[in-house]
């Protein structure tokens, strides 16, 4: 065991979710991906801090609360609970859950604001533009439609008026060169490459200052010294990553985790994380996060998730029908991480049956049931190694490095692909060695074959824990692996000759469509 003090730290975040709507598969996806990485890093000896939470301010919330006849705080309390419930339902291993309406966050925001003011990057100006009261939105000149009556209207035909309100601005324009240098010197700062290209093009095209306060609503963090202003989303929401660490107390124990190693975000908010956020941190004199990774979007049965189609997929019914771990597996396996992909019931069932039930579940079952029936229900010892034994074993031993490498490259789907290569090799090995034919002829060789299979199963079970924690805990129980010997460092010593194995039971039942 490495002493905790010298373990490397790893800080990973999910986006904070806007509590205006209900959680759906897209939220679950980002969270599960972060969870897989967090769990893998723990397995690999890192001291991990994993943060998730909710974004709870803004005009939309204020209006929605009003429409629901609730105080904004009551409204967000209720909706934030739905996101907490989702986190529990998907077995998230987060170390904290921050809400932007918490005092610790608000006081941290105010401190950050003051720091930015002191740095001279905040000034009072006017935010102005074409505003449609009916749409509650600002529009750019080229979005407006000129009606036959000569009146300018919004794309949704609402009348617009030129409005001008006082607003504080952040001098984003002053950071263009430093941001470009950051991207240039840290090619991994924004991933995947498509997002990186877009961000660099955006910044090269020139940056305008951004409005960071509002006077048109009040549900937000008050701007210090200007009680008629509340902070607009940029400062408020992005700051969560440091306020949860104890900012502005730089001596807070959690501050040792800053800067974050990885901000996992949905691709729609990449710019805020890859442009605004590092600029603010530079201004505040804080270290910058190491990496921003934008994950893609799911379509559902080929259709884009949208309010008008009302097809946003909630996760609880899927968990109830298919089980959590199969769902987690599917989400991580079905589409290359960073791409978009389609969530279809058919594809989920196929992967559940073909890969989980047939390939892996059946592999574990045939090995463990065979040991229970023919090897006295105890972990068999090794025998003399054959060429085939050596091949399977070296495949298994090389797997942790391959998986680590894939996860470091954010190729979560590839990590699973690598693990499945071993699953298939193990199935081929058991067929070729045919322990059932050795039962009477050569019981010692039979035992040796079973042991090699257990060695492979151990590696598979350990490496799959981040993806399917509950089911892999069960598999490792079936191999009599002590709970303290389930990380990568313990792989060589996790199995003990002769340990009593519990009665085997299936890991992944086949899914059959109810008639």
Q: Which two tokens stand for residue 337?
A: 């991480």
Q: Which of 12, 13, 14, 17 binds RNA (CB under 7 A)?
A: 17
Phi, psi of 2 (to 5 degrees): -80, 135
In the complex with RNA, which residue's Cβ is closer, 313 or 388?
Answer: 388
CB atoms under 10 Å from CB of 513, counted, come to 6
In the complex with RNA, which residue's Cβ is closer, 335 or 463?
Answer: 335
Please tell me the distance from the alpha carbon of residue 229 to that of residue 206, in angstroms, as a whole number.
28
Q: Which of 96, 432, 497, 499 binds RNA (CB under 7 A)?
A: 432
Please list every residue from 82 through 121 that binds RNA, using CB under 7 A.
Answer: none
Please list every residue from 157 through 196 that binds RNA, using CB under 7 A.
Answer: 172, 193-194
In the complex with RNA, which residue's Cβ is closer, 192 or 383?
Answer: 192
456 binds RNA (CB under 7 A): no
Q: Which of 9, 178, 409, 424 binds RNA (CB under 7 A)?
A: 424
Please list every residue from 435 through 454 that binds RNA, using CB under 7 A.
Answer: 436-437
Sheet (strand 222-223) strand order: 213-214, 226-231, 222-223
| Per-residue exposure over 153-168, b if at least 16 CB sit within 10 Å of its own CB, e if not | bbeeeeebeeeeeebb
350 binds RNA (CB under 7 A): yes
In the complex with RNA, which residue's Cβ is closer, 261 or 374?
Answer: 374
- 225 phi-psi bin (left φ>0, alpha ψ -120 to 50, beta other): left
In the complex with RNA, which residue's Cβ is closer, 10 or 276?
Answer: 276
In the complex with RNA, which residue's Cβ is closer, 95 or 217?
Answer: 217
Q: Which of 91, 93, 226, 362 binds RNA (CB under 7 A)?
A: 362
130 binds RNA (CB under 7 A): no
**Binding residues for RNA, how many (CB under 7 A)?**
67
Cis peptide before 73 (omega within 30 of 0): no
210 binds RNA (CB under 7 A): yes
For the chain, counts of helices (H) and of strands (E): 19, 18
232 binds RNA (CB under 7 A): yes
Cβ atoms of 503 and 371 within 8 Å: the answer is no
Q: How far is the CB of 241 from RNA (least distance, A)?
A: 11
In the complex with RNA, which residue's Cβ is closer, 172 or 419?
Answer: 172
Three-class SS state of 104: helix
User: Segment contacting RNA (CB under 7 A): 76-84, 400-408, 457-465, 502-510?
Assistant: 502-510
Beta bridge partners of 262: 12
Q: Which of 93, 158, 254, 272 binds RNA (CB under 7 A)?
A: 272
Sequence-distant (≥ 6) Cβ neighbours of residue 485 within 8 angstroms: 493, 494
Q: Which of 10, 40, 50, 234 binds RNA (CB under 7 A)?
A: 234
* Residue from 165, 362, 175 nearest 274 by CA: 175
Q: Which of 33, 122, 207, 319 binds RNA (CB under 7 A)?
A: 207
In the complex with RNA, which residue's Cβ is closer, 94 or 154?
Answer: 154
Q: How far is the CB of 396 from RNA (least distance, A)?
A: 16
CB atoms under 10 Å from CB of 228, counted, come to 11
x/- letters, 145..164, toward RNA (CB under 7 A): --------------------
Cβ atoms of 68 and 30 within 8 Å: the answer is no
For 311-342, give the secondary structure using H, E and C: CCCCCHHHHHHHCHHHHHHHHHHHCCECECEE
Cis peptide before 259 (omega within 30 of 0): yes
Three-class SS state of 405: helix
Q: How far is the CB of 5 from RNA (least distance, A)?
A: 35
Three-class SS state of 244: coil
User: Segment contacting RNA (CB under 7 A): 40-48, 67-75, 206-214, 456-464?
Assistant: 206-214
Q: How far is the CB of 353 from RNA (least distance, A)?
A: 7
Q: How far is the CB of 137 from RNA (least distance, A)?
A: 6
Q: How far is the CB of 440 from RNA (least distance, A)?
A: 11
In the complex with RNA, which residue's Cβ is closer, 93 or 365?
Answer: 365
User: Segment contacting RNA (CB under 7 A): 74-82, 116-124, 209-217, 399-407?
Assistant: 209-217
Sheet (strand 96-99) strand order: 96-99, 47-55, 9-18, 262-266, 292-295, 190-191
Distance from the first to the final alpha carbon of the chain: 52
Please tell me the distance from the alpha carbon of residue 294 to that of residue 401, in angstroms, as a whole number.
24
User: Segment contacting RNA (CB under 7 A): 76-84, 150-158, 228-236, 255-263?
Assistant: 228-236
Binding site residues, RNA, CB under 7 A: 15-18, 20, 55, 58, 60, 127, 137-138, 140, 172, 193-194, 197-198, 201-202, 205-211, 232-234, 236-238, 268-269, 271-272, 335-336, 339, 341, 350, 354, 357-359, 361-362, 364-366, 369-370, 373, 424, 427-428, 430-432, 434, 436-437, 506-510
């Amino acid at each position: 065991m490495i002493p905790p003090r010298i373990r490397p730290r790893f800080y990973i975040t999910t986006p904070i979710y806007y509590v205006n709507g209900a959680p759906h598969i897209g939220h679950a996806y980002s969270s599960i991906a972060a969870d897989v990485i967090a769990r893998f890093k723990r397995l690999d000896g890192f001291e991990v801090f994993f943060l998730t939470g909710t974004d709870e301010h803004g005009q939309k919330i204020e209006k929605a609360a009003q429409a629901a006849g609730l105080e904004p705080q009551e409204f967000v309390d209720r909706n934030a609970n739905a996101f907490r419930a989702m986190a529990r339902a998907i077995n998230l291993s987060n170390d904290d859950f921050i809400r932007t309406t918490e005092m610790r966050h608000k006081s941290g925001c105010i401190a950050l604001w003051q720091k930015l003011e002191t740095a001279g990057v905040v000034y009072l100006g006017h935010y102005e533009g074409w505003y449609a009261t009916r749409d509650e939105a600002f529009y750019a000149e080229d979005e407006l439609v000129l009606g036959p009556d000569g009146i300018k209207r919004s794309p949704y035909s609402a009348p617009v008026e030129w409005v001008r309100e006082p607003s504080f601005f952040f001098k984003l324009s002053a950071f263009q060169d430093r941001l470009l240098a950051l991207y240039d010197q840290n090619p991994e700062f924004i991933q995947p490459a498509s997002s990186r290209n877009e961000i660099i093009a955006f910044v090269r095209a020139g940056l305008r200052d951004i409005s960071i306060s509002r006077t048109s609503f009040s549900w937000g963090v008050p701007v210090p010294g200007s009680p008629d202003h509340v902070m607009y989303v940029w400062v408020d929401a992005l700051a969560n990553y440091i306020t949860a660490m104890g900012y502005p107390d730089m001596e807070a124990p959690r501050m040792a985790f800053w800067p974050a190693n990885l901000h996992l975000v949905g691709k729609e908010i990449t710019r805020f994380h890859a442009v605004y956020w590092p600029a603010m941190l530079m201004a505040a004199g804080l270290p910058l996060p190491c990496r921003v990774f934008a994950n893609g979007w799911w379509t559902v049965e080929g259709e884009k998730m949208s309010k008008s189609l009302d097809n946003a997929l909630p996760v609880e019914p899927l968990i109830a029908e298919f089980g959590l771990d199969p769902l987690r597996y599917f989400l991580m396996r079905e589409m290359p991480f960073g791409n978009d992909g389609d969530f279809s019931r058919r594809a989920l069932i196929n992967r559940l049956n073909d890969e989980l039930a047939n390939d892996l579940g059946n592999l574990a079952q045939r090995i463990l049931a065979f040991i229970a029936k023919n090897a006295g229900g105890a972990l068999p010892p090794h025998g003399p190694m054959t060429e085939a034994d050596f091949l399977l074993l070296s495949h298994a031993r090389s797997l942790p490095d391959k998986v680590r490498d894939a996860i470091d490259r954010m190729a979560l789907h590839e990590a699973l692909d690598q693990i499945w290569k071993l699953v298939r090799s193990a199935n081929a090995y058991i067929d070729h060695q045919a322990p059932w034919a050795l039962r009477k002829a050569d019981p010692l060789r039979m035992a040796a074959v079973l042991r090699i299979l257990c060695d492979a199963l151990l590696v598979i079970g350990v490496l799959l824990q981040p993806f399917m924690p509950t089911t892999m805990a069960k598999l490792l129980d079936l191999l009599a692996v002590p709970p303290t010997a389930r990380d990568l460092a313990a792989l060589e010593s996790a199995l003990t000759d002769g340990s009593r194995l519990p009665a085997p039971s299936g890991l992944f039942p086949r899914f059959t469509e109810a008639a």
